[in-house]
Amino acid sequence: MASQLIQAGIIGVGSYVPNKVLTNNDLEKIVNTSDEWITSRTGIKERRVAEPEQAASDLAFEAGRKALEHAGLPPEEIGLIIVATSTPDMFFPSTACLVQEKLKCVNASAFDLSAACTGFIYALNVGKQFINTGAEKYVLVIGAEVLTRIVNWQDRTTCVLFGDGAGAAVLGPVPQGRGIISSYMAAEGAGASLLTLPGCGSRIPLTPQSVEQGLHFISMKGKEVYKFAVRVMEEGTQRVLQQAGMKVEDLDMYIPHQANIRIIEHAAKKIKLPMEKVLVNVDRYGNTSAASVPLALDEAVKQGKIKSGDNVLLIGFGAGLTCAAVLVRWA
C-alpha cells in the first residue's frame, strides 16, 4: 500500500516593513509625476524605504523571527529556509544562509529562490514538497525585497511602483484535508524581456558603461506585463480551484500579488470574485515583489480576517514571466 503524503500547511506568519514612508507627494519632488496619476493608475499612495544599512537579509530576519514566534517554534526546529528575493544582499552567499545565521536556525539548510514577484508562492510550493515527503518537518519560507535599491529614481514609469518589505510563513504538518490543498506553477520564458534587470549578471557584467546606461535598474514594459498579469491571475485561479474541485464561491479570502489595484480589480471581475474577499494593501506598500503576498497574508491573519477552515487562495505573477498559486484550507 502506498504511504500517505504528509499534508503541509501554514502554521505561522510574520512580516516586517521599514519605518521610512515615501508618499506620492514626496515622489512629486523627485520625478515629474503627481499623486493623482499614481493613485489613479496604480492605487499606490505610499511605500516603505529601507534604511541605508538595511539589506534584504535584515528585513527577512525580522519577518522570519515573527513567523517562528507566531508558530511557537524554536529556531532549531526549522529544517530548511527558502528566501525568495530579486534583491539579495549579494550574489553569494545566499540571503537564506545569512538569515539562517541571524535566526540561529542551526539545523536548517538554506537557499534562495529566484522567481521575481512570484517567488514566495514558488517557494511555498517547493517547501511543501519537503513536508509532503517527510524529508523535513518544518520549512521557513520568506519573501524579502529592497527594491528601492534597484529602481531608477529618474524613471517615473517604474520608480513610483515599488517598495521594500518582507513576509514569512512557517510550513509544517497539518491534519489531512487542511493546509495546501492544491497548487499551480507556470513560466513563460518567451516573455522574459518584458521585465528585467539586464546588467550586473554574466551577460552584461558591471562596468562603468553598463552603469552609465542604467542597466543595473529595473526595466519594464508595463502594458504587456499588465495584460499578462490579468490573464494568468484568471488561469492560475481556475487551475487551483479545479484541482481542488472547488468554485470561486467557495473562496473565503483571495490574496493576490500587490502590483496595481487596476490589475487586481480587473482580474477579480473576470473571475467573478467580489472585492470584499480580496486583500488589498498596495495603497500602503506599493509593489514589494516577493514580499507582497506574505505581507498581505500576515495582515489578513493578524487582523482576524482568516479563520480555521477558511479557503484562502494566494496568487502571484511576475518577471520570468512566471505565475503561481496555492489554495490553502486554513488549519
Summarize as ranges the residues that interact with ligand ACO (CB under 6 A): 33, 37-38, 41-42, 116-117, 156-157, 160, 195, 220, 222-223, 225-226, 229, 259-260, 263, 287, 289, 318-319
Angle (CA) 165-166-167 rounded to 5° is 140
Q: Of these residues, 70, 257, 311, 323, which one is catalytic?
A: 257
Give the residue closest to ligand ACO by C-beta: 318
**Least distance in Å: CB of 221 to ligand ACO?**
8
Catalytic residue among 125, 132, 287, 311: 287
Query: Of the two residues 145 and 299, which places its CB atom closer to ligand ACO in the complex?
Result: 145
Nearer to ligand ACO, 243 or 281 (CB): 281
> Which is nearer to ligand ACO, 33 or 109 (by Cβ)?
33
Query: Of the residues 24, 97, 105, 117, which is catalytic?
Result: 117
Active site residue 117: yes
Least separation in angstroms between residue 112's CB and ligand ACO is: 16
For ligand ACO, the closer of residues 11 and 278 by Cβ is 278
Closest of 324, 252, 329, 249 to residue 293, by C-alpha: 324
Cell of 4: 500517505
CB of 242 to ligand ACO, least distance (A): 25
CB of 229 to ligand ACO, least distance (A): 6
287 a catalytic residue: yes
- Give the cell for residue 157: 514609469
- Catalytic, 216? Answer no
Q: Which three cell numbers stand for residue 222?
A: 508595463
Residue numbers annotated as active site? 117, 257, 287
